[in-house]
């Protein structure tokens, strides 16, 4: 099938807006997880995402510590 055979896009694509599920967090929920297609996806920001790898967790800790050191210096 070529692009010529496809119908023209008549409606703009819809953007799904989901925020972090952590209580009180208003960050964008860009990290989703679902156990199966039958279970609705839950969304978190990277800081609250519960399924991070060990390396991702270390990188996040370093980033938070660097931000804290920078705020103390100022």
- Who has greater pLDDT, 37 or 9? 37
- The pLDDT of residue 62 is 93
Secondary-structure percent of the chain, ordered helix, strand, coil, rounded to 5: 30, 10, 60
Nearest to 50 by CA among 63, 32, 24: 32
pLDDT at 1: 55
Looking at residue 73, what is its pLDDT? 64
Digit-coded pLDDT (tens) for 24-50: 999 999 888 888 989 988 999 988 998
Calculate Rg over the CA atoms of the chain: 19
Please, how many CA atoms are within 13 Å of residue 23, restricted to the half-sphere of its CB? 0
The more confident residue out of 22 and 13 is 22
């Amino acid at each position: 099938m070529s692009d010529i055979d496809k119908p023209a896009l008549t409606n703009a694509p819809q953007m799904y807006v989901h925020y972090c599920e952590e209580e009180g967090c208003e960050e964008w929920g860009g990290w989703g997880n679902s156990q199966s297609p039958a279970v609705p996806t839950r969304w978190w920001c990277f800081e609250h995402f519960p399924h991070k790898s060990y390396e991702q967790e270390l990188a996040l800790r370093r980033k938070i510590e660097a931000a804290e050191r920078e705020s103390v210096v100022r």
